[in-house]
Amino acid sequence: MTDTLPEPADVIPHRAPFLFLDGVATLVPGESATGWWTPSADLAFFAGHFPARPTLPGVLMAEAIAQLGAYAVLHGDSFAGRLPLFGGLDNARFRRQVVPGERLDLAIEVTRMSARAGKATGVASVDGDIACKCDLMFVAVDA
């Protein structure tokens, strides 16, 4: 675990409007991390998903988990200076609606790493209630 962690934009290549990680609370480089994202009501997709009941799309919850995973693996020796890309998404389950302004707490654990790829499992929750669980596969390419 690290006391002072860099901001997500200082580690991962994502930028607004596609940066879905506000901060990182804990990190074991290359192994695990916890963090959070609070989607604001002014995000454009809420206007159409859904106009009468704004709901965070499930795939964006999975993307937020993946961004936290990228943060964790980019701190490890294996992928330093590389770009981790989605290779697959398995066992995704969406269990709770997330609305604008709710803090999405994120956790990721890297379960397997090789020189070019890895697997991880992650969870997104609101106030302790699981909103999304999924298994991720990623590949590393030259940045």
- The catalytically annotated residue of 19, 22, 28, 49 is 49
Task: Say whether 2 sits in a helix, a strand or coil.
Answer: coil
- The band of 77, judged by pLDDT with boundaries at 50, 70 and 90, is confident
Per residue in 8-43, pLDDT (tens digit) is 999 999 999 999 999 999 999 999 999 999 999 999
Flag whether pLDDT at 1 surpasses 60: no
Confidence tier at 103 by pLDDT (50, 70, 90) = very high
- Is 80:142 a contact under the CB 8 Å cutoff? no
- Of 98, 123, 134, 113, the C-alpha closest to 35 is 123
State the CATH architecture for 8-142. Roll (3.10)
Q: What is the mean pLDDT of residues 63-91?
A: 92
Confidence band (pLDDT; 50, 70, 90) for 2? very low
**Mean pLDDT confidence for 76-88:** 88
* % pLDDT > 70, the chain: 98
Q: Distance (Å, rounded) from C-alpha 18 to C-alpha 51?
A: 21
Is 75 in the active site?
Answer: no
Q: Are 70 and 84 in contact (CB under 8 A)?
A: yes
> Does residue 143 carry a pLDDT above 90?
no
Closest CA to 21 of 134, 107, 88: 107
Q: Quote the mean pLDDT of the chain.
A: 95
β-pair partners for 112: 119
Query: How confident is the model at residue 28, as a pLDDT?
Result: 97
pLDDT in the model for residue 3: 67
137 φ, ψ (degrees, to nearest 5): -120, 140
pTM score: 0.95
In angstroms, how far is CA 85 from the centroid of its own chain? 12
Distance CA 91, CA 114 (A): 21
Burial class for 57, CB neighbours closer than 10 Å (0-12, 13-18, 19+): middle
